[in-house]
Amino acid sequence: MKITDVKTYVVGNPPPHFGGLYWIFLKLTTDHQLVGYGEVYSVPFHPQIVARMIEDVCARYVIGTDPFQIERLWRIVYSSGYTQRPDPSLLGVLSGIEMACWDIVGKELNKPIYELLGGQVHEKLRSYTYLYPEEADKTNVYNDPELAAERAAEYVKRGFTAVKFDPVGPYSAFDPRQLSLPALDHTEKFVQTVREAVGGQCDLLFGTHGQMTTSGAIRLARRLEKFDPLWFEEPVPPENLNEMARVARQTSIPIATGERLTTKYEFARVLEKQAASILQMALGRVGGILEAKKIAGMAEAFYAQIAPHLYCGPISGAADIQISTCSPNFLIQESIQTWGGFYAEILQEPIQWQDGYIIPPTKPGLGVELNEEVAARYPYTGQELHLDMLDRPVYQ
């Protein structure tokens, strides 16, 4: 079997844009008329440029190859242009291609991908969601502790046993910063109010984005320990793991990181330096499904757990689900609420979510199919990137 064609889809995610402004999907077709879908996460170029990057890589290395030869293809693309290092742009493209190859392999063998990577371990996957704003809100849920507490209680009633939030404030190109006393007070009150609303029914995931200096993160962690968060996410930028490890040594709150990292090489350093005990690989960026399985395996040896990241579309989410299902050290899976709305519309059949848990699919490959007609109806026509940071310092 050989791959014969690639097609890309740059899909505008309609308001309220939960999961980003757009999603980049690709479809590989084989001479057996099998198709495989993949998703590329948050490459820092305009998505139409990224689509051309996908087409270029496929023309050079993918068309004419056997989709079963995933390890060989991975090494060739990873080394292209004499790079052979964790480049997030190339790794994003490679992740989507690798994902689509696994989808084809699973369909050819009539097995879900998780059955080909050790078999099913988890019958259902615990999931969490951010506290998302709603159209009727009169205040910002990330700034208003009372509204956040109300929203968290609503999610608990729907079945969630964990919610995530970031009350520290915006993230800037000029971070990390030392939080002001008012910012520390606000954040402490925010977490306290949410904890009081949900009691012991729900874990709190403190989902910061590298805004703080090491000393600032330690100051904040000491205020939050009494509320027993499940994790403190990316308390400092991921570029300096020695400093993240300093935070980890100074707090009882588990440190989580990984959404901005790629490959087993970067995650190996996280584990070696004991910078985090919860790894949040994004399957559309990290290097794909097999790379994520290797990272999960390394983490087992350190008693670390995986909690795959999701702030993108449902194809990458489906890949998350495959790796979570077959990994013994799976902790929890990020969801965008309950996988409804446009997440359901863009697929032929929606991802199944029930009472706080994702139900792994039993269909072959990724277990989901892109609705190409819907994808074609929602082209992205904007100029902004999927995610961006403030271009000015934050004083708070």
Q: Which residues are catalytic?
A: 209, 309
Tokens 């502790």, residue located: 145
What are the residues whose beta carbons fall under 8 Å from the beta carbon of 56, sequence distance 6 or more?
none
* 13 CB neighbour count, 10 Å cutoff: 22
Tokens 């440029």, residue located: 49
Whether the bond between 176 and the residue before it is cis, its omega within 30 degrees of 0, is yes
Q: Which residues pair with 273 in a beta bridge?
A: none
Looking from the CA of 36 toward its CB, the CA atoms found within 13 Å total 33
d(CA 259, CA 286): 8
- Are the beta carbons of 247 and 283 closer than 8 angstroms? no
Which has the closest alpha carbon to 183: 208, 220, 148, 215? 220
- Are the beta carbons of 253 and 231 closer than 8 angstroms? yes
d(CA 213, CA 226): 21
For the chain, report the end-to-end CA distance as a whole number of angstroms.
Answer: 58
What are the residues whose beta carbons fall under 8 Å from the beta carbon of 206, sequence distance 6 or more?
164, 165, 166, 191, 224, 229, 231, 232, 233, 253
Phi, psi of 52, rounded to the nearest 5 degrees: -70, -35
Looking from the CA of 332 toward its CB, the CA atoms found within 13 Å total 19
Tokens 């059949």, residue located: 349
Look at strands 22-30 and 35-40 and give their pairing: antiparallel
d(CA 54, CA 7): 9
